[in-house]
Structure 1
Amino acid sequence: MVDEADKDGLEKLDKRIRELKGADKPVSKMEDAHSQAHLAWRMVIELVAGIVIGFGIGYGLDTVFDTMPIFLVLFVLLGFAAGVRVMMRSVKEMQDEALADAGQNEGK
């Protein structure tokens, strides 16, 4: 029979072996390209969403107050600025993740 200490040691060793096998697995160029395309589409969607929401709010206010181009232009510009801000926050988040991964891999 196997002692509990031996069993725990074997489980730790097995876990460590699985981690090391996964770390050596190279990322294919196709997976990396799809990952980058996903990030690009995410940023485009965030920018377009800000502009569309700004357009909707501006058009609605212009319709209510009968001042057609004023609020439309103002809120489209504000929507664009909000979209760029969200894009920049997403880029910073992705950059922080990449730096954390690089630091984690460097420590091994």
Structure 2
Amino acid sequence: MAHGEKPPASFEDFDKRLHQARGGVAEPETAAEIADTSGYGPGLQAGIDIIAGFVGGGLIGYGLDYLFGTSPVFLILLILLGAAGGMRNAVRTLARYGASGSETGSKRG
């Protein structure tokens, strides 16, 4: 620390000033409160699961085909397996979201 500089404020003081600047709005405390800010999360996760299955299966299949010299055998096989695994993960993600009871707008009268 250079001569004449003030020491840094404590974290408690910083938290107090930050809370006051935010207007007293409390931060979300649990992961569910943080994740529940929009309804896009589970849909995006399901899409990422499917795409990751295709890409992962394709890359591994291409690598095995290159290694063994078998043209598109492993590529096609592992793309299909990766797609099936990705769809399974997407269904599990969406089922978990639906079972949590945090559906919005699904009850119409």
How would you bin the TM-score normalised by the shorter chain? 0.5 to 0.7
TM superposition shift of 1:35: 2.0
The alignment status of 1:87 with 2:90, answered yes or no, reads yes
Greater helix content: 1
The alignment status of 1:70 with 2:73, answered yes or no, reads yes
- Which residue is 1:18 aligned to? none
Letter in 2 for 1:79: G
Letter in 2 for 1:61: L
- Which residue is 1:4 aligned to? none
Gaps of 5+ in 1: 1-31, 103-108
- CA RMSD in angstroms comes to 1.9
Tell me the TM-score normalized by structure 1. 0.57
The alignment status of 1:57 with 2:57, answered yes or no, reads no
The alignment status of 1:39 with 2:45, answered yes or no, reads no
How many Å separate the matches in 1 of 2:100 and 2:67?
45
Runs of 4+ in structure 1 over 4 Å off? none
TM superposition shift of 1:91: 1.1
* Greater RCO structure (CA 8 Å; 6+ sep): 2
Gaps of 5+ in 2: 1-35, 104-109
Q: Residues 45-72 of structure 1: CA distance to partner in whole angstroms, max 9, x if unpaired?
A: 1111111110111001100111121100
How many Å separate the matches in 2 of 1:35 and 1:50?
25
